[in-house]
C-alpha cells in the first residue's frame, strides 16, 4: 500500500503539470518533455499505483476469508521485491528522459517517452521494457502465492464453498494470467529484442494488437478490486448485508469469460483489421454491460437493505439514512456513481460507427478518468481509510479531512471529465502537448474552448488538493497512537453461496471456456495480421544481429558491456 501511495503522489503531480500545459495556463515543461511526463503519469498511476494496491487488497482477501496466513512470508517478500525492481527499472528509464543529456546504458540513451501504451514505432530503452516484464512476472508469482494458500485451505475443507473474497481474488488472477500473456509476448518476443537491436523492426499492428489483448482486460484487473470492496464493505458500512453472494460470483465469472476477447474494440481505427472481426468484437463488448448492471443492482440493493435497517423508509428517503459522514462509505458510493456515468460513455466507445467520431479525441481521456481515475482510484483511497487502521492498529487521523478529500476528488473529476467529454465532441485531440492548431479554432455550440480549459484546470487543481489531503491523512494516521479501530470483518449475506450451484466455483471449467473464447476471438485476426505484415514487418525476415558464441557467464557480461 505504501508503494501504491508513493506512485500516486508522483503520478498525480505529473497530472497537474499536464493539465496546466495543455490548456496553456502555466508551462513548466517543454512540449517535448510533456510526452515523458505523460508516460510517467500513465505508468505510475494506471499500472504502479493500481496494481500495488491490488496485490495488497487481494492478499488481505485471501488470508482473512480463508483464515490462514500465506505459506511463506519470505516468498511473499520475493514477489513484492520483484514488482518493486521492475517498477523502478521502468521509472528510471522514463525519468532519465527529463535530463538534458540522458545517461547511456547498453550503448543507448536512457529514455522512454512512449506513453502508457508504448506503441511501436515509438521506441523506449530496453530497461523500460525489461522493467515492465519483470513487474508483470511479480504479479504472476503473487497470484501463485494466493492459489497455493487456497489449495492448502481446500485440502482441509474439501466440501466447503470458496469464501467470496477469495473467490474474487482467484478469479481475477486467472483472467490476468490469460490476458497478460499478450503483453508479455509483445515485450519479450518483439519490443525488447527490437530495442536491443537484435531485430531491425517490428510489425506495429501486431504488437499493438497484442497490447490490447491485455489492454482491455487490465481495465477489469483494476476494477475487480474496486468491485470487491463495493460487494464486501459497502453493505457492512450501510448497516446491512450483501443482497446476493451468488450474483457476485456470476459477475466475476462473466468478467473471466468476457474481458479478454474484446480488446480489438480499442482498434476500430486500425485499418489492418477486417471490419467483420471488429463487428464481432463490438457485439461481444456489449455483453460486458451485463456484469456491470448486475453489480449496480446488487450493491444498491445491499445499501438499501442497510439503510432500511437503520430506519430508512420510502422509495428514495432511505438514502438519507446511509452513513454519508463516513469517508470510507461516501468515497466508495460516489466512485460507483461516476462509474455509472463512465458506463454510458463506454457504450459510445464500444459502438464501432460512433467510436470513429471520438476515438482520437479528448473524450477518451474523460472516459478513462471516470473508470480508472475515479471508480478505481477513489475506491482505493476511500478503502485505505479502512485498511490503514486495520494494518497499523491506529484510528484514522481525521475523519473530516477524509470526507473533504473524497468530496473534492468527486467534484474535481466531475469538472474535469465533463469538460474532456465535451471537448472531445468538438474534436479536440488527445495525446498531444499542443491541442490547438494554427489558423484554426474549435467552436462549441454551448460555451467555449476557454471555458472547457478552465473546467479542466479547476478539476485538475481540485484533484491535486485532494491527493495532498489524502497523503497527509494517511501519513498522520500511520504516525498516530494505537487505539480502537473497526473490526476486521466484512458483510454477511442475505443469499449465501449455498443458494447457487456448486459448478459456479469450478474455476477450471470457466478458465477453459475463457481460453476457448480467446482463441476464437484472436486466432484469425492475428493470423491475418501476420500474413499481411509479417512477424517483424513487411519483407523483414527477423533476426538481423547474430550473437557471438558465448560459452561462459563472463563472455555474456563482455557482450552486454560491449553493447
Catalytic residues: 216, 220, 367-369, 430-431
What is the rounded CA–CA span in Å between residue 324 and residue 485?
A: 19
Report how far residue 28's alpha carbon sits from residue 556's, in angstroms, rounded to the nearest whole number: 43
List strand residue ranges (DSSP E) for 88-215, in order: 104-105, 108-109
Cα separation, 5 vs 53, in Å, equals: 8
Contact 90, 128 (CB under 8 A): yes
Angle separating helix axes 245-258 and 275-287, nearest 10 degrees: 170
230, 295 Cβ separation under 8 angstroms: yes
C-alpha cell at 512: 477453459
Instruction: Check: CB of residue 550 under 8 Å from CB of residue 544.
Output: no
The alpha carbon of residue 383 and the mean position of all alpha carbons in its chain are separated, in whole angstroms, by: 16
Cell numbers that stand for 31 in this block:
512540449
* Terminal-to-terminal C-alpha distance of the chain: 38
Contacts of 254 (CB under 8 A, 6+ apart): 287, 288, 290, 291, 294
Q: Which one, of 343, 185, 359, lies nearest residue 266 by Cα?
A: 359
> CA-CA distance, 302 to 52, in Å (whole number)?
29
Q: Annotate 64-78 with DSSP letters as a single string.
A: HHHT---S-HHHHHH
Distance CA 332, CA 375 (A): 8
Please say whether the beta carbons of 38 and 18 come within 8 A. Answer: yes
Which conformational region is residue 314 in: left (phi greater than 0), alpha (psi within -120 to 50 degrees), or beta? left
Rounded Cα gap, residues 139 and 318, in angstroms: 41
CA 402 from centre of chain:
23
Gap between the Cα atoms of 116 and 128, Å rounded:
11
Bridge partners, 493 (sequence order): 242
Is 387 within 8 Å of 332 (Cβ atoms)?
Answer: no
Bond before 121 cis per omega within 30 degrees? yes
What residues contact residue 225 under an 8 Å CB cut-off, 6+ apart? 53, 54, 57, 58, 172, 376, 379, 380
Beta bridge partners of 199: 543
Q: With contact defined as beta carbons under 8 Å apart, do 420 and 456 qualify?
A: yes
Q: How many residues does the chain have?
A: 563
Amino acid at each position: 500500500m505504501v508503494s501504491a501511495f508513493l506512485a500516486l503522489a508522483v503520478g498525480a503531480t505529473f497530472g497537474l503539470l499536464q493539465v496546466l500545459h495543455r490548456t496553456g495556463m502555466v508551462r513548466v515543461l517543454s512540449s517535448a518533455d510533456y510526452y515523458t511526463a505523460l508516460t510517467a503519469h500513465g505508468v505510475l498511476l494506471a499500472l504502479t499505483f493500481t496494481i500495488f494496491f491490488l496485490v495488497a487488497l487481494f492478499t488481505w482477501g485471501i488470508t482473512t476469508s480463508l483464515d490462514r496466513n500465506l505459506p511463506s512470508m519470505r516468498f511473499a517478500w520475493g514477489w513484492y521485491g520483484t514488482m518493486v525492481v521492475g517498477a523502478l527499472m521502468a521509472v528510471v528509464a522514463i525519468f532519465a528522459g527529463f535530463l538534458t543529456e540522458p545517461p547511456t546504458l547498453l550503448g543507448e540513451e536512457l529514455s522512454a517517452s512512449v506513453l502508457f501504451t508504448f506503441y511501436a514505432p515509438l521506441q523506449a530503452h530496453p530497461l523500460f521494457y525489461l522493467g515492465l516484464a519483470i513487474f508483470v512476472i511479480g504479479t504472476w508469482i503473487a497470484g501463485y502465492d494466493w492459489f497455493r494458500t487456497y489449495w492448502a485451505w481446500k485440502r482441509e475443507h474439501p466440501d466447503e464453498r470458496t469464501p467470496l473474497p477469495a473467490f474474487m481474488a482467484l478469479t481475477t488472477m486467472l483472467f490476468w494470467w490469460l490476458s497478460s500473456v499478450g503483453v508479455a509476448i509483445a515485450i519479450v518476443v518483439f519490443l525488447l529484442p527490437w530495442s536491443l537491436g537484435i531485430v531491425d523492426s517490428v510489425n506495429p499492428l501486431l504488437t499493438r494488437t497484442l497490447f490490447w489483448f491485455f489492454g482491455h482486460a487490465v481495465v477489469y484487473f483494476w476494477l475487480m478490486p474496486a468491485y470487491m470492496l463495493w460487494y464486501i464493505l459497502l453493505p457492512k458500512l450501510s448497516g446491512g448485508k450483501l443482497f446476493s453472494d451468488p450474483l457476485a460470483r456470476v459477475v466475476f465469472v462473466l468478467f473471466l469469460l468476457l474481458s479478454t476477447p474484446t480488446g480489438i474494440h480499442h482498434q476500430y481505427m486500425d485499418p489492418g483489421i477486417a471490419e467483420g472481426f471488429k463487428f464481432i468484437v463490438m457485439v461481444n463488448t456489449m455483453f460486458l454491460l451485463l456484469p456491470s448492471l448486475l453489480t449496480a443492482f446488487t450493491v444498491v440493493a445491499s445499501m438499501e437493505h442497510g439503510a432500511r435497517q437503520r430506519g430508512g423508509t420510502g422509495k428514495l428517503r432511505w438514502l438519507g439514512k446511509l452513513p454519508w459522514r463516513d469517508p470510507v462509505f461516501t468515497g466508495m458510493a460516489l466512485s460507483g456513481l461516476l462509474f455509472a456515468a463512465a458506463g454510458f460513455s463506454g457504450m459510445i466507445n464500444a459502438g464501432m460507427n460512433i467510436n470513429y467520431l471520438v476515438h482520437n479525441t479528448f473524450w477518451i481521456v474523460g472516459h478513462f478518468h471516470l473508470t480508472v481515475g475515479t471508480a478505481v482510484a477513489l475506491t482505493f483511497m476511500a478503502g485505505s481509510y479502512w485498511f490503514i487502521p486495520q494494518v497499523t492498529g491506529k484510528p484514522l487521523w481525521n475523519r473530516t479531512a477524509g470526507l473533504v478529500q473524497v468530496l473534492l476528488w468527486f467534484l474535481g473529476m466531475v469538472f474535469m471529465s465533463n469538460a474532456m467529454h465535451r471537448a472531445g465532441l468538438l474534436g479536440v485531440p488527445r495525446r498531444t502537448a499542443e491541442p490547438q492548431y494554427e489558423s484554426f479554432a474549435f467552436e462549441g455550440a454551448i460555451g467555449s474552448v476557454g471555458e472547457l480549459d478552465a473546467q479542466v484546470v479547476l478539476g485538475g487543481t481540485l484533484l491535486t488538493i485532494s491527493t495532498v489531503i489524502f497523503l497527509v491523512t494517511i501519513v498522520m494516521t500511520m504516525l498516530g497512537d494505537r487505539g480502537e479501530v473497526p473490526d476486521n470483518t466484512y458483510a454477511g449475506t442475505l443469499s449465501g453461496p449455498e443458494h447457487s450451484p456448486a459448478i459456479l466455483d469450478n474455476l477450471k471449467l470457466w478458465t477453459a471456456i475463457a481460453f476457448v473464447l480467446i482463441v476464437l476471438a484472436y486466432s484469425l485476426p492475428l493470423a491475418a495480421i501476420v500474413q499481411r505484415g509479417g512477424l517483424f514487418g513487411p519483407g523483414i525476415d527477423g533476426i538481423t544481429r547474430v550473437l557471438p558464441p558465448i560459452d561462459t557467464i563472463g563472455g555474456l557480461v563482455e557482450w552486454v558491456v560491449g553493447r
